[in-house]
Structure 1
Amino acid sequence: MNPLSKIVAAARGPVQAVNKALTRPAAHTPHAVARMLRGGSLEEAVRGRIVLITGASSGIGHATAVRIGAAGGTVVLVARGEEKLRATAAEVEAAGGTAHVHPCDLTDMDAIDALVAAVLEQHGRVDVLVNNAGRSIRRSLALSYERFHDFERTMQLNYFAPLRLMLGLLPGMRERRFGQVVNISSIGVQTKVPRFGAYIASKAALDTLSDAFQAETQDEGVRFTTVHMPLVRTPMIAPTTLYDNFPTLTPEEAGAVVCDAIVTRPRRFSPAFGRVASFADSITPEIMDFVRNRGFKMFPDSAAAKGRPDAGAEQDASVAQRVFVEFTNGNHW
């Protein structure tokens, strides 16, 4: 075993253990402790509640919906593809829950308004809104000069669509003096990773908007929860085949994080490295700039980002890349 491999082996255990402790639901996490102190459970949190989940046809949204179904909850499933939504609904109902399918193109503002009207007419209210649907683009600045539309489309799905849903559903939550908005954000907002400028800008906009809304509704029983999700193995990261070599959460593990957030209603739910990076960035951004630049230089643009999606698989991660990934666990480069 060469020296770098030894460093990887030595670092993997403690680094991953810290990140898992703060990312995955477990008996010793702060949110799980809060849940135990409150005596709460997912069953109690979703009993008699209506939970609307966007991006529910696959990945994190699908896993979250099935878990809520197993807890006996009622879910409103939203995504573009009706066939996949119906497959998710079948799994929710098989798990013991109730599911309602509402196909919607979240890039269409009028379609979102129609969705809100239909949901409120048919179900009366939404108690928990999970803004999970999103688009990620991994592309360097040098490849983005002629691609302004990358920034437009990420902002549309990751920011304007959740905002439109919130503006339609928050009046009812405030009137009833109960509700929760769970925004699936990214560790990238905390670490400010290179190549993801369009993506993290849209997520950061949603984060700060929710902070402002929370200040206005703090005493009204409405809670805004931001989940800074680490790298999850979903179709969204598939174009970057280099990620096949990196540790990730499964959609089921990520869904468990979302459900834990519904139970404990924290303001933020973040992995360890994201918290450390955010704190370090507030103290001395120059050091974090150096770390981010090293990561940028270490990992290339994907073939898809270069406009060559059929160029074949990327090379396996080098030992140096694996070392870097282990020490920035959960982050995407």
Structure 2
Amino acid sequence: MSNALNKPGTESTPHAIVRSLRGHPSLPDAVRDKLVLITGASSGIGEAAAIAVGAAGGTVLLVARGEEKLRATAAKVESVGGVAHVHPCDLTDLDAIDKLVADVLAQHGRVDILVNNAGRSIRRSLALSYDRFHDYQRTMQLNYFAPVRLMLGVLPGMRERKSGQVINISSVGVLTRAPRFGAYIASKAALDTLADAWQAETQDDNVRFTTVYMSLVRTPMIAPTTLYQKFPALTPEQAAGVVCEAITDRPRRVSPAFGRFAFLADAITPEILDSVRNRGFKLFGDSTAAKGRPAPVDDDKLTPASKAFVEATRGVHW
């Protein structure tokens, strides 16, 4: 996975030359005259991606629950010369999603690129989850059912026009099967396998499904786990760079090296990876937030062993 360290909407000259030789368009070429719908656009990766796409000349359709924050994102997009439209929507409400799709198609006519970025992450061990079935329900609702509803709304137009892309922001945890994230990675894995099935059906329609197995990103979503303040993580702008490269390259999958290694190793010898995951599980405890208590001052301390483990598995959330 690229570090995506370039300024949003731009590419360094050497990088641009290499991409051109490989036949990949620049971001401005890829998003010119395109309508890009981004969910979770009020903060974090979604906001940063919207700014980058807007700066490159794409028109961004901003979706999230809070209208005020979306308007703030739209102002940032417009400040870099982009065009943004605000579409507030509670993505936990399936009827609201249907109305969103109807409004977007009525106002804009189509969606060329859909970025399913909005998501909910829950870090909680099995021992703390026996009476929390709702954790699994709410992650599945936002991480799986919401994007499915959106895709069912925009895919007919993409297929008819013989052009379109769906980018699903997943997690490296799906490849590593990170402990304590059962509810989260199960919902993301469901979306991943659905995209595989649908890609086979839409291959001849020039519709591309791209899954981005994102490394840990320093966003408000990870803030409750104060331990992550000590973990290496991408900035939202770096993560947005990964999304932008997914738009230009249209790959089927994007993942960090350790994620690919873990996925292959798990397929060959899951027992070894079980031991690695068990090691990570024992090195890092449940956060006090997961236990429903205020975080103590030392909640984010790492031991020498845990620091070494984090460095060896950079980008993975434990």
Correspondent of 1:111 among 80, 96, 99: 96
Pair 1:297–1:330, CA change in 2 (3 A)? same
Amino acid at match of 1:285: P
Q: CA deviation at 1:318?
A: 1.4
Give yes or no for the alignment of 1:211 onto 2:196. yes
Corresponding position of 2:223? 238
Q: How many residues of Structure 1 are paired with residues of Structure 2 in the alignment? A: 312
Tell me if structure 2 keeps the 8 A contact 1:52–1:128: yes
DSSP 3-state at the match of 2:299: coil
Distance 1:143 1:295 in 2: 17
Q: CA deviation at 1:316?
A: 1.6
Distance 2:117 2:131 in 1: 28
TM-score (norm 2): 0.95
Q: CA deviation at 1:31?
A: 11
Corresponding position of 2:165? 180
Correspondent of 1:57 among 31, 42, 46: 42
Correspondent of 1:276 among 261, 268, 273: 261
> Percent same amino acid among aligned pairs?
71
Tell me if structure 1 keeps the 8 A contact 2:224–2:289: yes
Pair 1:288–1:41, CA change in 2 (3 A)? same
Corresponding position of 1:24? 3
Query: Which string of whole-angstrom CA distances, capped at 9 and with x for unpartnered residues, describes residues 213-257 of structure 1?
Result: 000001111000000000000000000000000100000000000
Corresponding position of 2:118? 133
Tell me if structure 2 keeps the 8 A contact 1:31–1:260: no
Corresponding position of 1:90? 75
Correspondent of 2:107 among 111, 119, 122: 122
Pair 1:77–1:130, CA change in 2 (3 A)? same
Distance 1:39 1:108 in 2: 38
Amino acid at match of 1:43: P
Corresponding position of 2:8? none
Any stretches of 5+ residues in structure 2 without a counterpart?
Answer: 6-11
Any stretches of 5+ residues in structure 1 without a counterpart?
Answer: 1-21
Tell me if structure 2 keeps the 8 A contact 1:31–1:264: no
Give yes or no for the alignment of 1:78 onto 2:67. no
DSSP 3-state at the match of 2:317: coil
Correspondent of 1:169 among 139, 142, 154: 154
DSSP 3-state at the match of 1:167: helix
What value does the CA root-mean-square deviation take over the aligned residues? Answer: 1.8
Query: Which string of whole-angstrom CA distances, capped at 9 and with x for unpartnered residues, describes residues 132-161 of structure 1?
Result: 000000000000000000000000000000
Corresponding position of 2:270? 285
Distance 1:39 1:247 in 2: 30
Corresponding position of 1:12? none
Distance 1:30 1:160 in 2: 37
Amino acid at match of 1:182: I
Give yes or no for the alignment of 1:224 onto 2:203. no
Tell me if structure 1 keeps the 8 A contact 2:52–2:240: yes
Distance 1:167 1:107 in 2: 16
Distance 1:204 1:141 in 2: 18
Q: CA deviation at 1:86?
A: 0.2
Tell me if structure 1 keeps the 8 A contact 2:4–2:240: no
DSSP 3-state at the match of 1:142: helix
Correspondent of 1:322 among 303, 307, 310: 307
Tell me if structure 1 keeps the 8 A contact 2:228–2:300: no
Pair 1:32–1:324, CA change in 2 (3 A)? farther
Q: CA deviation at 1:292?
A: 0.1
Q: CA deviation at 1:317?
A: 1.2
DSSP 3-state at the match of 1:307: coil
**Higher relative contact order by CA 8 Å / sep ≥ 6: 1 or 2?**
1
Q: CA deviation at 1:37?
A: 1.8
DSSP 3-state at the match of 1:185: strand
Distance 2:4 2:206 in 1: 24
Distance 1:266 1:235 in 2: 28
